[in-house]
Every structure is written in C-alpha cells, then in structure tokens.
Amino acid sequence: DRLPELLRRMPKAELHMHIEGSLEPELMFALAARNSVQLAYPNVQALRDAYVFNNLQEFLDIYHAGTMVLKTEQDFYDMTCAYLARAQADNVLHTEIFFDTQTHTGHGLSAATVINGLHRACADAPAKFGMTASLILCFLRHLSEEEAFACLEEALPMRDKIVGIGLASSELGHPPEKFAKVFARARELGFRLVAHAGEEGPASYIWSALDVLKVERIDHGVQAFTDPALMQRLVQDKIPLTVCPLSNLKLRVYPTLAQHNLGKLLDAGIVATVNSDDPAYFGGYLNENFTQTFAALGLNSQHAYQTALNSFNASFIDASLRQKYV
C-alpha cells in the first residue's frame, strides 16, 4: 500500500496549528531551566503522561500551564523554529500559525515580545526551512470582548506581521456573537478572519461565525454535519473547514478515528483540510494526522489529492503567488 507514502510526500499547507500547542515537553523543560520557572511535573515523561483529556477545557488548562515557561522574544523564536523544522519534515510548504497574545500578556509579557519573536521565525522560514509562514492572532473567547479590543489595539503597531484574526479557547458558552464588534473592527482594518466553531459547540455557532463575524474559514467545523442546510451553505460558498482529526480524538469529540466524519465531509463536497491543532499534546504532527485518519477511514489517493489542493486553495497565500505552490 503506497498511500501512506503519498500522504507523507505530497506538498501541503497547514492552516490550523496553535504555536503554543507545538511546545514539546523537552523544549518546555529547557525553557523552564533557562527562565528559572518551576514546572508542576518532575520530568518529561511525567508531563507527557498527564496528556490525557476528557474534553477541550481539560486540555486548555494543561496547555495554559505549559505557556508559563515562555518569557523572552527568543523563546517564541525558538518554539516557532522547532515547529517549522517538524513541518518541513512533513513536506509542509506553507503554514498559517495561530497564537494567542492574551495568554502571554496575562503573564506580564508585552504583545511585542510575542509577535516579534514569532514573526522573526516566520521571516526566516523560507531560507531556514524552505517554506512560508504567516501569523493569525486568536482572541481568547472565554475573556470579554473588551479584552479582545485591548488585545487588538496592542497588536496594531505590529499590524504588518499579522495576516489574520481568529477566535480560540473554550467554545461552549462563548458563541461567536460575543465578538461581533471586535471582528467588525478587525475586518475594517483589513485582517483576514477565521474562527473556531463547531468543535464542541453546535452548528449554530458555525452559522454565527459566518453571518455575524463574517469569517472566511471555519476552524474545526465538524459539527456542521448535523445541519443539512449548513452543509449546503458551506459547499455552495466554498467555505473551508480546517479539520483536526487527532485533536478531535484526543479531546473526545469522536470516540475513535474510525467514527470521524472527514471522509463524509469531503464526499459531500466540503473544502475540508487536515491539520494538527496542538501537535505536542495530541499525538502527532501533520503527516501523522493524515496517515492515521486515512487508514482509519479507508480514504483513498483522490481524497489525499483533494485535501492537499484544498489546503492551498483555503490558504491566505496571495493569489498571485499561489501558482508557485500548486
């Protein structure tokens, strides 16, 4: 069977990956030592053993604790380079990296420390890793819209280093409508817009991400399958879904990968892509998401080609440059 080899070797773009979720335990301990931060676990193995989650919130709590080791611009640069090296090994030609400034400003860092470190790695990506990388700032939806406005304001001096705005963190109880005004502002400022919707939350959150926030892509979006009218809308308007199968497995959105709906979404004509979400926590980088999911669902080379093509078509790469990739 040559499908796994095809999946690994095909050129692809990654559109849904939180950089703080790429922080491997080894680097976390190294940064903890460098910055004199005490971790709650005695060693790498004990930390990895704690990566068992029943839902999104249990993950977010551990993810948040891990970000405490990030202190300097160099830390953000080093973390991003580590991810880019892994992405290059998976034949990722382009990546759009999520980050959440508010996690770090909440620990006393400045937005500039975060964004400048991340951006320096993205700027080095073509020469160092043979790929392109851009940044998407995600507001934390468990915080208020007022706090999202403050976050946007603090990022504006670094406006040119950010391609888009997204929405992440605890979904249930924090519908997209909560951020209507700040997304409207981001839109006026010319940012590309995305939002997590329909991971644990209902299909109605996908509708409001589209119709209230006016996002161009939906992150996760797997719950769309419960709503035929929404499926029709997504197909008709070619709204991409950035699907993260191993994340959905680890956070128990689906009990097994064999029950994941990626194949059904693709067969329904949805512009679905495959992504790693938080690869250090969810058991695999991009190629691992592809190979495990395709095997579990019995997907074929046509699905492989479609998801790779979708990843470039759904990206925010300039239309004029897109032909370089596909």
Binding residues for Zn(2+): 16, 18, 196, 277
Active-site residue identified among 20, 73, 199, 200: 199
Q: How far apart are CA 326 and CA 32, in angstroms?
A: 41
- 96 touches Zn ion by CB under 5 A: no
Burial 191-226 (b: 16+ CB within 10 A, else e): bbbbbbbbbbbebbbbbbbbebbebbbbbbbbbbbe
Tell me which residues in 249-278 interact with ligand HPA (CB under 6 A): 277-278
User: Are the C-beta atoms of residues 179 and 148 closer than 8 Å to each other?
Assistant: yes
Cβ at position 36, least distance to ligand HPA in Å: 26
Q: Is the CB of 90 or the CB of 278 nearer to ligand HPA?
A: 278
Which of ligand HPA, Zn ion, none sits in contact with 285, Cβ below 5 to 8 A by type? none
Q: How far apart are CA 180 and CA 204, in angstroms?
A: 15
Cβ at position 48, least distance to ligand HPA in Å: 18
CA distances from 186 to 70, 138, 237 (A): 27, 12, 22
Q: Is the CB of 19 or the CB of 39 nearer to ligand HPA?
A: 19
Using a 10 angstrom Cβ sphere, with 0-12 exposed, 13-18 middle and 19 or more buried, the burial of residue 52 is exposed
199 is catalytic: yes
Q: Is the CB of 59 or the CB of 191 nearer to Zn ion?
A: 59
Cβ at position 9, least distance to ligand HPA in Å: 27
- 277 touches Zn ion by CB under 5 A: yes
Burial 16-49 (b: 16+ CB within 10 A, else e): bbbbbbbbbbebbbebbeeeeeebebeeeeebee
Q: Is the CB of 93 or the CB of 241 nearer to ligand HPA?
A: 241
Cβ at position 195, least distance to ligand HPA in Å: 10
- C-beta atoms surrounding 3 within 10 Å: 17
Q: x/- site string to Zn ion, residues 199 to 218, per CB under 5 A?
A: --------------------
- 169 touches ligand HPA by CB under 6 A: yes
Q: Which residues are annotated as a binding site for substrate?
A: 278
- 199 touches ligand HPA by CB under 6 A: yes
- C-beta atoms surrounding 312 within 10 Å: 20
- 217 touches ligand HPA by CB under 6 A: no
Dihedrals phi, psi of 72, to nearest 5 degrees: -115, 165
One residue of 17, 56, 209, 266 binding ligand HPA per CB under 6 A: 56
Q: How far apart are CA 80 and CA 120, in angstroms?
A: 9
Collapse the DSSP code of 168 into the 3-class scheme (helix H, G, I; strand E, B; otherwise coil) and give the result.
strand
Give the active site residues. Answer: 199
Q: Which residues bind ligand HPA (CB under 6 A)?
A: 18, 21, 56, 63, 168-169, 196, 199, 247, 277-278
Q: Which residues bind Zn ion (CB under 5 A)?
A: 277
